[in-house]
Copies of this chain bind each other. A is one copy, B any other.
Amino acid sequence: MFGITPSARLRPSPFFEATLAEGVTAFTTYNHMLMPTAFGDPETEYWRLLKGVSQWDVAVERQVQLKGPDAGRLAQILAPRDLSGQQVGQGKYVPLCNHEGVLINDPICLKLADDLYWLSIADSNIWFWAGSIAAERKLRVEVSEPDVSPMALQGPKAEDVVANVCGDWVRSLKYFWFREASIEGIPVVVQRSGWSKQGGFEIYLRDGTQGTRLWTIFKEAGRAYDIGPGGPNWCERVESGLVSYGGDTDTTTNPFEVRMGKYVNLDVPDDTIGIAALRRIAAEGPRRHTLGIVLDAGGPVRPGFLWNPLYRDGRKVGDLTNCIFSYRLHKNIGFALVSRECKVGDRLEARIGGSMQAGTLTELPFI
């Protein structure tokens, strides 16, 4: 484990002081901010997410705000998914691609009003990309990064905690739907969402000075449910088949290769960025796809930072994009971004460090 050198290029979040008080031990960086990833006891943090309720600082999910008469038009130009039926109060998961159909982010698109959208982004600088598209097309829309910082409550008991704070109306929110609200005077957006498959909510803080207060309100409300800190959980997300933009994708990956094809609508307008390329890729069939892989090794395998090459009969067929020892399966599991010719059941070998690790391709999700 190495240290992170402090720098204004890597902003702490409004919840930074709160997570310090919780005993954060490690961060990742994401959208030029620090995101807590560990609080010293990974297995406890995992089971808390699975069985109870976990509180996450995910302020790094920055919002790219589209505001103005052409906001909806810009959202549709950026997203190769049909947004024509999207209602105010509804979020939609959208892959964003460049003109070549390469995935450059996969935000949730929130429609707050007919002239106001947020893209709640993964780890890449979408704000100036989106702004330049708006300017090149002379749209009447302002693209900015507002003062909005999500905090997540995840796990089977998250709904009880959020209902305790916000009211029982949160129980009837459908997935990715949201409502604007006020919590003890703090302006927020409450959405059923979050980067796990254990259920939960994201609370979008709309006043960066109130991070510690908001954190504390949910921490107090969660005390009866044994709430504790956590973060997007590597083990759970791999078990659940959740792909990470930038982690499980590279600079040539298209949505069809990483199980996002169902979020692409090929009949969106022709001026949608990347749609011509996506139609071509869909017609030809993508060259790669993402499957699960279970390694034979009994104990935990440490794959390091990098993708690890995957071989079939000695020939490279793709990459192991990540790998972790599953607390539930007691096996090393990971994602294989492999040639289309590779199928479930195929035996592959991963070169990890100096050694070869054999494994079998599987369906996703694992659980």
Contact = CB atoms under 8 A, between A and B. Distances in A.
> Which of A129, A131, A246 is packed against the most chain B CB atoms within 10 Å?
A129
A173 to B, nearest CB: 30
A52 to B, nearest CB: 22
Interface stretch (A1-9, A260-268, A355-363): A1-9
A9 B25 contact: no
A145 interface: yes
A211 to B, nearest CB: 13
Given A1-B4, A5-B26, A8-B305, A132 B131 contact: no
Interface residues of A, number: 54
Contact of A3 (B1, B6, B8): B1
A136 interface: yes
A312 B344 CA distance: 67
A244 interface: yes
Contact of A30 (B9, B100, B102): B9
Contact of A247 (B8, B25, B37): B8
Interface in A4-20: 4-12
Contacts of A25: 2-3
Interface in A251-300: 251, 273
A203 B184 CA distance: 56
A2 B22 CA distance: 14
A26 B3 CA distance: 4
Contacts of A251: 127, 144-145
Nearest to A136: B136
Contacts of A132: 98-99, 129, 132-133, 136, 273
Contacts of A29: 4, 10, 29
B133 A9 contact: no
Contacts of A6: 304-305
A331 interface: no
16 contacts: A2-B26, A3-B26, A4-B4, A4-B29, A5-B28, A6-B305, A7-B247, A8-B246, A8-B248, A10-B29, A29-B29, A34-B305, A98-B128, A98-B131, A100-B131, A124-B125
Given A2-B27, A9-B247, A132-B136, 8 more contacts: A2-B4, A3-B3, A3-B27, A5-B26, A6-B305, A8-B305, A104-B128, A127-B251
